Each structure stands twice: as structure tokens, then as C-alpha cells.
Structure 1
Amino acid sequence: MNQKVARALTIAGSDSGGGAGIQADLKTFQELHVYGMSAITAITVQNTLGVHGIQEIRPDIVASQIEAVTTDIGVDAVKTGMISNIKIMEAIASLVKKYKLSNLVIDPVMISKSGHALLKEDARLALKELLIPLAMVITPNLPEAEVLVGHSLDNMAARKEAAQYLRDLGAKHVVIKGGHLSDQENADDLFYNGNEFTLLSSPRFHTQHTHGTGCTFSAAITAYLAKGEAPDIAVQRAKNYITDAIRYPLNIGQGHGPTNHWAHRLQEEQNEK
């Protein structure tokens, strides 16, 4: 077997419940036949009922994890998730530039599903100044996009302006996720490549088992980029992946349960029969 193995790195927090963060990313990479590596930025104490504690990792340890895998194994694509403070952001940005990690996907994790703040306020400006200019793709959900632009995005025109704003900050491609618009029949994500807008639509499934959707979606984009897909194709295929992960829930936990990371593979296998 001489085929080159695609390699993806996730830089994010650890979720002890396994539904989001590092755990969700590595599960997604594995399901999409990509070799996954990790640099842990924080350890969270959480389950489907919420986040009960956070221990940040020292910035130099985060940086050492990134350097260890980059200089030995190599990285075809990288994603960031929970980055709670400026020092860790500075370390990541420096290494992304040093090792020319061009396939960078930023999931600007700010608030947990249970409402726990995961990004300190003073780090939000640093996110815009340090990391977004390096992004191949940025994937904020609607509340995160509103924080980044500083105002409500209650209509499509406003969301398009927000996508343009994030593109002007340096991100090459922008996805504003519309899953929080629960009053709409479909889950519509807005994709912007700098030239045109595309609406990525899927059925809306009324389930509480959506913990880790943002992590999983951005990890799928990262995996497809690592395999050589163009950003627009990577985003569309990732949309299909997360749609299946929500469509077929595992029904785990008493609160916001995780998505089903293997649903897409099983669906594809069934379609091939």
C-alpha cells in the first residue's frame, strides 16, 4: 500500500464527554480515512449536561505539541477549536506561519452548548488580528459571527455583509452556520469564497443531540482539505457528513448528546449495496 496518507492536526480543547473538541475531531478524521493528530489547549470537565470545569494548558506545551507532530509526521491540514487565551493564540499563529500550514480551518469556539464561555473577551480581538488572517476557512455559527462583527445578523443581507467582513480580515473562505435559526424549516449555511455566495441547505432535525456539531463540521472540512479537495468541495462534503451525524442520533446522555460520527460512513456503505 503505497498511497500517501492524508494527515490532519486538531488544536483544541479536550471534551471528557467525547462529543466535541479533540475527541470529536479525531473521530471525524478517522471516519474520513485521515490520520489524526492533536495539540490540546485545555482540559474540560464536561458531559451532555454542561461544562463543569476548565484547566488551560501552558502555551509552551501547546506549542511543543504542534512542533512535535509537524516536524516529524507532517501536516496536510490543521484546524483550531477552543483557544481560550491570547498567549496560546500567539503561539499557534507563530507556528502556522513558521511551518506554512496553509490549510487552516478556524472554528471560533466561544460558547458551549450549555452556555459556558470558552473564549475570554480579550482574546476575541486577538482572534481577529492573529488567526483569522491565516485561515483558509472560518466556520462561525450565527452567535459567534455576531460577536465577531459586533451586531445582530437577523437577515440574509446582514449575514452576507458579515461574511464579507470576515473575508476582509483575511479568511479566504467563510461559512456562517445557520443551525441556530430554529424557526426555519431547513438548516442553511452561508458559504462565501470572495466572489459568490452559496447557500448550503439541509433538512432540520428536531433533536437535542447536537453537541459538538461545530467541531465535527469543521473537522470534516479539515479532513477533506487534507485529502486534497478544493475548499468549496470540502465544505459541501462536510455539510453532508454533519447532516448524517445529526440525522441519525446516538441518543446518549441526559442533556445535549453528541452527534453520530460514524453515521455518514454507514449511510455510504448502505447506498453502495
Structure 2
Amino acid sequence: MINDFPQVLTIAGSDCDGSAGMQADLHTFFVRQTYGMSVLVAAVAGNSYGIQAAENLPLDFVAKQFEVLAADFKIKAAKTGMLGTADLIKTVVTAYKNADFGPLVVDPVITTKHGAQLLEDEAFTSLKQELLPLATVATPNFFEAQLLTGLTIKDRDDQKAAALAIQALGVDNVVVKGWHRPGQEQVYDYVVYADGSEEWLVHPYYDTEHINGTGDTFSATIAAELAKGKPLKHTIKIAHDVTVAAISKSIEVGHKFGPINHWASQDLNI
């Protein structure tokens, strides 16, 4: 039947070295056996050493991509990546409300993996007030959870409190991803669901610089599994296992901060 195959959408920027952003999302959709599409919002010129230049796409072109996809395909889930300006967030929110693209996974890209803030104040406010309330699930990292809540996360109790505070912003389900502290052998991700249930997802810490695209991969896996009709709790567990596998079996690409290995998850049989 037409459009019977699971189709999933990333709303993100292009990372030309393929390690993160739209490319990492599409890698993930492919290995999770879904058909991936994209609404391109920006383009980055960068490599394993860092980002050298970036350009946002015109807002009317971003909106047009939503329009043409909705006219033809049956997208069953979507996710966002970095949306760098308030106007872009407002455009995406309006276009998403007008489309029927299923549940939305919001990866609130606010900081770098080292905690440097990427968004200006106006865009940060729009993300909190307009985009997050649309989310079926939000997947902030440790640093982003602190910025979204104003809390300082020192331990697992603080991590749980931050997740509940983000849920209070209007997000049904929240995953606050953990942070590796010196001497810590395990990393803890905390999940709180719309029904009030909760769980901790635990994995070993891997000492590697090949971690580009981990957040993208985690959120993209959730979107892919939702597009296949899987229950949310099951999709989050799959996303955790897929991402950990991709980190644990690194591939040598680039001289410095490299990509994770999306192929590794295919050995999990999940």
C-alpha cells in the first residue's frame, strides 16, 4: 500500500562531516529500518576539529519543505535538532502544527557537549515556551537540563528534580541524560513518563573522543521506533541500547572529535 512503510522526519541542520545533526539522524533512521526524510534548517561547515562557518536557511524555504512533505508522504514521527533562532523556532512550531507528522521528539540543542551555550536568549525562550510543549518526549543532556530549569545538578536526586521541572513546562515524557564525573564508572540517564512512572537507564562510561552525534542518535532512534508503532517506554530503552553500542565500538574517522558507530547497533537484534 502507498505510504505503508514507516517514514520518519528530522528537522535539523546539515553537519557536513556527517557526524552529527541531520546526517547522524539519517544514519540512525537507516539502521533502524525506517525511511528518513529531512527539513533542512541550516548548514554547518565543520570537521572533527570544530565548526568554521554556519548559515541558516530562509524561513519561507523551511516552511515550504513542511508543506511539500505533508502533501505526499505519511510521516509517522519526527524529531528536532538545533534550531538556532527564535524566528526559526516559531516557523517550525507553526509548520508542525499544520502538518500531521505524528509524535514529536525534541532534542533541545542548547549547548555543546562541553556545556557552552549555543542559543541566544530569545531563541532559548521560544524553545521553552513554544517548542517544548509540543514534544511527546524531550531528551536534554545534563547541561541543557540545568539551563532549562535553573537547577544545579550535583547528584541523581537533582537530575530527577530537573526532569520533573522540565515535565512541568508541558512535556509529557522527559529523559535527562547523565554526565560522566571524574572517577565515575557508570552513567545514569533518568526517565519520567506522563503517567508518573520512572526509570534509570545505566551504562558504562567509555573514555573516547568519538562521541559526536550521540544526542542526535538517541533522539532519532526514539523517533524511528515511534514511527514503527512501538510503545514509548520500549523505544527509549532501544534508543539507550543503540546509542551505547554506537559509542562502545568506535570507528576511526577524523583527527579529533569523531563520530559514533551506527553500524554497531545492528548486532543487538532489537
- Shift of the alpha carbon at 1:23? 0.3
Give the root-mean-square deviation of aligned CA atoms: 1.9
State how 1:1-273 maps to structure 2 within 5 Å.
4-113=4-113, 117-181=117-181, 183-194=183-194, 195-265=196-266, 267-268=267-268
- Shift of the alpha carbon at 1:119? 2.2
Counterparts of 1:268 and 1:240, CA distance in 2: 8
The alignment of Structure 1 onto Structure 2 pairs a total of residues equal to 269
- Shift of the alpha carbon at 1:64? 1.1
SS at match of 2:14: strand
Counterparts of 2:33 and 2:258, CA distance in 1: 24
Quick check: 46-55 or 238-247, which moved more?
46-55
Q: Please tell me the residue identity of whatever aligns with 1:86.
A: A
CA 1:108–1:64 in structure 2 vs 1: closer, same or farther (change >3 Å)?
same
Counterparts of 1:245 and 1:131, CA distance in 2: 28
SS at match of 2:40: strand
CA 1:253–1:66 in structure 2 vs 1: closer, same or farther (change >3 Å)?
same
Contact 2:85 2:119 in 1 (8 A): yes
Q: Percent identity?
A: 37
CA 1:200–1:114 in structure 2 vs 1: closer, same or farther (change >3 Å)?
closer
Counterparts of 1:16 and 1:33, CA distance in 2: 23
Q: Please tell me the residue identity of whatever aligns with 1:140.
A: P
SS at match of 2:262: coil
Counterparts of 1:183 and 1:140, CA distance in 2: 23
Contact 1:50 1:114 in 2 (8 A): no
Quick check: 16-25 or 66-75, which moved more?
66-75
| 1:179-227: CA deviation from partner (whole Å, max 9, x where unpaired) | 4445421121101103122000111111110011001111111101111
SS at match of 1:91: helix
CA 1:114–1:154 in structure 2 vs 1: closer, same or farther (change >3 Å)?
closer
CA 1:210–1:166 in structure 2 vs 1: closer, same or farther (change >3 Å)?
same
CA 1:186–1:86 in structure 2 vs 1: closer, same or farther (change >3 Å)?
same
Counterparts of 1:42 and 1:180, CA distance in 2: 30
Contact 2:75 2:100 in 1 (8 A): no
Counterparts of 1:126 and 1:255, CA distance in 2: 33
Contact 2:70 2:100 in 1 (8 A): no
Quick check: 105-114 or 246-255, which moved more?
105-114
- Shift of the alpha carbon at 1:252? 1.3
Counterparts of 2:113 and 2:50, CA distance in 1: 7
Counterparts of 1:257 and 1:127, CA distance in 2: 28
* TM-score, normalisation: structure 1: 0.93
CA 1:2–1:128 in structure 2 vs 1: closer, same or farther (change >3 Å)?
closer
Counterparts of 1:14 and 1:3, CA distance in 2: 26
CA 1:182–1:11 in structure 2 vs 1: closer, same or farther (change >3 Å)?
farther
Contact 1:173 1:231 in 2 (8 A): no
CA 1:78–1:211 in structure 2 vs 1: closer, same or farther (change >3 Å)?
same
Counterparts of 1:94 and 1:20, CA distance in 2: 25
Structure 1 residue runs of 5 or longer lacking an equivalent are: none
SS at match of 2:226: helix
Contact 2:66 2:99 in 1 (8 A): no
Structure 2 residue runs of 5 or longer lacking an equivalent are: none
Counterparts of 1:124 and 1:209, CA distance in 2: 28
* TM-score, normalisation: structure 2: 0.94
| 1:9-55: CA deviation from partner (whole Å, max 9, x where unpaired) | 00011101100000000010011110000011110111111111110
